[in-house]
Amino acid sequence: MPSDKIEKKRKRASDRHERPSKKPALEALPPLAASVVEEKSELAPVIATTPGVLTSNGLRFNPYIKTRENSGRTATRNPGIVSAEMLLQSSEHQKMDFVGREGTGEDADSQLKHYIAVVDPEHKTWQFIEARRVTVRGAVRSRKPEEEEEESEEEMNTMRAQRTNLTNTFGTKQSRKAVQSMAENAQLSNAPAGSVTQAGAALISSLPADVASGLAKATNVQAEVQAAKPLPTPDLTAAHPSDVYSLETLVPGGHPTLRQLTGIDEWTQQVEAGLGVVTGSRYVSNRVVAVAQSGNPTHIQVLRFVQLLLEFTRSLKSMGRDKGSGPGSKKLPPREDLRKILSSTSGASKAGKEEEESISELLPDAVVDAVRRRFAPQGGFLSKHDLTLLHTTICALTLHIPPQPAKDGGSSSLGGNSPNELATDPSDLRDDLRLDSNTIQQYFRELGCRIDKPRESEFSKWNIKGGRAEAAARRVARLRVPVEFPKVSRGGRK
């Protein structure tokens, strides 16, 4: 009879996972001599945590420091962490913006001290240094319809050109007339704002009186609005982009003012000696060596004047609620203090004893007075309109500095590496003026520039090493002839 018992198979010896009876002994570290680094600077190491966000390793953050209003921690080894607060920001990612902030003091973790230890196994020592703890959050960057249109514009132009060639070669007589009509309309639309071409004038004269008067009125309104904006005066008849905003127009006094600037010989001597040039401007510091080595005197004079205007902007103080100045106005420092600030090539924002000793030569009174008359016509303060004119003038001046200055001149003598355009990267200028990306790009659009991504053939010129991913996050301002200004909105139908 069959047995009711179920026979179980015995496991093989190889199937059994024998666990060791004892845990392996860890290698004991030798006794280390511990010490704490006494650091009083606010530039302490940062421990960043990214909860819920996966950041790339090559992401670079821009640090910003401000004074803490209410400090909760007093017993600490680093007074700089108590007195100053650090913020990290990065917009290099293709689709996200990252912001890192320290704790506000409400959570329990912000009350703790965080340290970083550096172990030296050869000398059997380790050192501790207090660090900041920053929490990095990410937000998806909103894309504007203008950027999407700019990305597809080059592709559309290529397809349109191919379609036009096919129509002219194999199309019927009616289709060729349609293509010719589209080309004429495109030429009319590329005319500078506020000007009417010969073909446009003939078209307006052939229209009825009421329609022609409406078009002329719209053109006049566009020209009046453009003239009322706080922008440098453009030359719409210029044949080259460098003549649209000439140096005679941008610089008060023109080339004689540029030749009176001090500090240029100091920069040149430091570059020739292989020393670094320290300034308070990121835009100037990243370009002064290449500009000085190119040997173009006009470019280094323009760069020095840009640094002067940036120091002029930083010296302005808020006026509060002054009835006579209006909202957003800024107050000028005393005349002698302003002269010392503008004469400094290292970017000294305060005229102290050390800064006075470092200034070898003061600017002439004519240069200081010319800057005051141009950007502070009221005398002691700048209105919001004057401040915008100062910012847009600095933007227009940066178009005259080529991205890669060349020693032999070449096309760089016209102000850019391309013979038909002026181009610049507004990111450094954005940080110097403490503006956001949308504002600085809108300034260049109001000047008639086109904002787009760097082309693949321009990666070396713009120092792009991350390929297309880095290029997608960068923006370049380009000025071409004819200049196209933003159209005046006529509003929708009610």
Over residues 36-92, the pLDDT tens digits come to 777 777 778 888 888 877 767 778 888 888 887 765 555 556 777 777 888 888 887
Average pLDDT estimate for 98-116: 76
CB atoms within 10 A of CB 47: 13
Average pLDDT estimate for 136-142: 81
Query: Is the predicted pLDDT of residue 165 greater than 90, yes or no?
Result: no
Q: Quick check: helix, strand or coil at residue 219?
A: helix
- Bigger pLDDT: 271 vs 65: 271
Q: What is the DSSP annotation of 152-216?
A: HHHHHHHHHHHHHHHHHHH--HHHHHHHHHHHHHHHHHTSPTT---HHHHHHHHHS-HHHHHHHH
Query: Is the predicted pLDDT of residue 338 greater than 70, yes or no?
Result: yes
Tell me what pLDDT residue 410 has. 41
Q: List the one residue out of 320, 189, 214, 305 whose CA is nearest residue 254.
A: 305
Tell me what pLDDT residue 69 has. 72
What's the pTM?
A: 0.56
Question: Residues 247, 252, 257, 258: what is their CA dihedral angle, to the nearest 10 degrees?
Answer: -30
Strand order of the β-sheet with 422-424 is 422-424, 476-479, 450-452
Tell me what pLDDT residue 403 has. 86
Rounded CA separation 237/478 (Å): 18
> Is the separation of the CB atoms in 101 and 51 below 8 Å?
no
> Is the separation of the CB atoms in 115 and 46 below 8 Å?
no
Average pLDDT estimate for 316-335: 79
Tell me what pLDDT residue 408 has. 44
Rounded CA separation 363/165 (Å): 60
Query: Is the predicted pLDDT of residue 294 greater than 60, yes or no?
Result: yes
Tell me what pLDDT residue 347 has. 66
Query: Is the predicted pLDDT of residue 16 greater than 60, yes or no?
Result: no
Helix (H) or strand (E) holding 318: strand 317-318
Q: Give the pairing type, strands 62-67 and 84-90.
A: antiparallel
Helix (H) or strand (E) holding 99: strand 96-102
Rounded CA separation 312/366 (Å): 15
pLDDT band at residue 412 under the 50/70/90 scheme:
very low
Query: Is the predicted pLDDT of residue 19 greater than 70, yes or no?
Result: no
Tell me what pLDDT residue 358 has. 54
CB atoms within 10 A of CB 430: 21
Q: Give percent of the chain with pLDDT exceeding 90.
A: 22
pLDDT band at residue 142 under the 50/70/90 scheme:
confident
Asked if residue 482 has a cis previous peptide bond (ω within 30° of 0), the answer is: yes
> Is the separation of the CB atoms in 110 and 47 below 8 Å?
no
Encoded amino acid at 195, one letter? S
Tell me what pLDDT residue 392 has. 94
Rounded CA separation 261/370 (Å): 12
Task: Locate 314 and state its tokens.
Answer: 């930083």
Encoded amino acid at 265, one letter? D
Helix pair 209-228, 198-206: axis angle to 10 deg: 140
> Is the separation of the CB atoms in 216 and 229 below 8 Å?
no
pLDDT band at residue 387 under the 50/70/90 scheme:
very high
Tell me what pLDDT residue 305 has. 95
Tell me what pLDDT residue 414 has. 43
- pLDDT tens column, 414-427: 445 567 888 999 99
- pLDDT tens column, 444-465: 999 999 999 988 888 888 888 8
Query: Is the predicted pLDDT of residue 395 greater than 90, yes or no?
Result: yes
> Is the separation of the CB atoms in 384 and 326 below 8 Å?
yes
Q: What is the mean pLDDT of the chain?
A: 78
Average pLDDT estimate for 379-408: 86
Torsions phi, psi for 339 (to 5 deg):
-65, -40
Tell me what pLDDT residue 37 has. 78
> Is the separation of the CB atoms in 80 and 73 below 8 Å?
no
User: How far, in whole angstroms, is CA 424 from its chain's centroid?
Assistant: 10
Q: What is the DSSP annotation of 457-474?
A: GGTTTTT--SHHHHHHH-
CB atoms within 10 A of CB 16: 8
Query: Is the predicted pLDDT of residue 155 greater than 90, yes or no?
Result: no
Q: Give percent of the chain with pLDDT exceeding 70.
A: 71
Task: For residue 88, give the DSSP letter.
Answer: E
Tell me what pLDDT residue 179 has. 81
- pLDDT tens column, 1-13: 555 556 666 666 5
pLDDT band at residue 188 under the 50/70/90 scheme:
low
First and final C-alpha spacing in the chain:
99
H helical segments located in 242-383 = 247-250, 255-259, 264-272, 282-285, 288-294, 297-314, 335-343, 353-358, 365-375
Tell me what pLDDT residue 418 has. 65
Helix (H) or strand (E) holding 384: helix 384-398
